[in-house]
Chain A
Amino acid sequence: MASLKIAATDRSPAVLFDFDNHHLTISGESYPEDVSTFYHPIFEALDAYLAGLGDGSCRFDFELIYFNSSSAKAIMMLMEKLDEAAKNGASIEVYWYYDEEDDTMQELGEEFGEDLEHAAFHLEKMAV
Chain B
Amino acid sequence: MADDELFAREEATMAIAEQLLGDGRFVEPEDREAYATLLKDYRKLFRTTRRLMRLADRNERELGAMAAKQRLAAEEISRKNKELETLSSKLAKYLSPQVYESIFSGKQEVKLASQRKKLTVFFSDIANFTETADKMESEDLTQLLNHYLTEMSRVAFEYGATIDKYVGDAIVIFFGDPESRGVKKDALACVEMAIRMQKRMGDLRDVWHDTGIETPLACRIGIHTGYCTVGNFGSEDRMDYTIIGGGVNLASRLEHAAPPGTILISYETYAHVRDEVYCEETGNIRVKGIAYPVATYRVVDLYSNMQEGAAHIRAELPHMRLDADPQLMSTEEREQAAGALREALARVEAASTPPRLGRAKMSRRALAGA
Bin the interface of chain A by size: 10 to 19
Residue contact A69 to B55, C-beta cutoff 8 Å: yes
Which residues on the B side are within 8 Å of A67 (C-beta)? 55
Q: A66, A68, A72: which contacts B51 (Cβ < 8 A)?
A: A72
Q: How far is the CA of A69 from the CA of B58 in the complex (A)?
A: 10
Residue contact A69 to B54, C-beta cutoff 8 Å: no
Interface of A is mostly: helix
Q: Which residue of B lies closest to A102 (CB)?
A: B58
Say whether A10 faces chain B, with CB atoms less than 8 Å apart.
no
Contact with A along B48-69 (1 / 0, CB 8 A): 1001101110110010000000
Which residues on the A side are within 8 Å of B59 (C-beta)? 66, 68-69
Q: B47, B56, B62: which contacts A66 (Cβ < 8 A)?
A: B62
Q: How far is the CA of A76 from the CA of B52 in the complex (A)?
A: 11
Contact with B along A47-75 (1 / 0, CB 8 A): 00000000000000000001111001100
Given contacts A66-B59, A68-B59, contact A107 B54 (CB under 8 A): yes
Residue contact B48 to A69, C-beta cutoff 8 Å: no
Identify the interface centre among A67, A104, A107: most chain B CB within 10 Å of its CB.
A104
Interface of B is mostly: helix
Q: Which of A71-119 contact B (CB under 8 A)?
A: 72-73, 76, 104, 107-108, 111-112, 114-115
Q: Which residue of A lies closest to B53 (CB)?
A: A69
Q: A69, A107, A114: which contacts B56 (Cβ < 8 A)?
A: A69
Residue contact B56 to A104, C-beta cutoff 8 Å: no
Q: How many residues of B contact A (CB 8 A)?
A: 11
Q: B44, B47, B48, B55: which contacts A104 (Cβ < 8 A)?
A: B55
Q: How far is the CA of A68 from the CA of B63 in the complex (A)?
A: 11
Q: Which residue of A lies closest to B51 (CB)?
A: A111
Which residues on the A side are within 8 Å of B48 (C-beta)? 73, 76
Residue contact A108 to B62, C-beta cutoff 8 Å: no
Q: A69, A73, A115: which contacts B47 (Cβ < 8 A)?
A: A115
Q: A66, A104, A115: which contacts B54 (Cβ < 8 A)?
A: A104
How far does the Cβ of A71 sit from chain B's closest Cβ, in whole Å? 9
Q: How far is the CA of A69 from the CA of B63 in the complex (A)?
A: 14
Top 6 A-B residue pairs of the complex, sorted by shortest distance between their CB atoms: A104-B58, A69-B52, A72-B55, A69-B56, A111-B51, A72-B52
25 A–B contacts, CB within 8 A, in A order:
A66-B59, A66-B62, A67-B55, A68-B55, A68-B59, A69-B56, A69-B59, A72-B51, A72-B52, A72-B55, A73-B48, A73-B52, A76-B48, A104-B54, A104-B58, A107-B54, A108-B51, A108-B54, A108-B55, A111-B47, A111-B51, A112-B51, A114-B47, A115-B44, A115-B47
Chain B residues in contact with chain A, CB under 8 A?
Answer: 44, 47-48, 51-52, 54-56, 58-59, 62
Chain A residues in contact with chain B, CB under 8 A?
Answer: 66-69, 72-73, 76, 104, 107-108, 111-112, 114-115
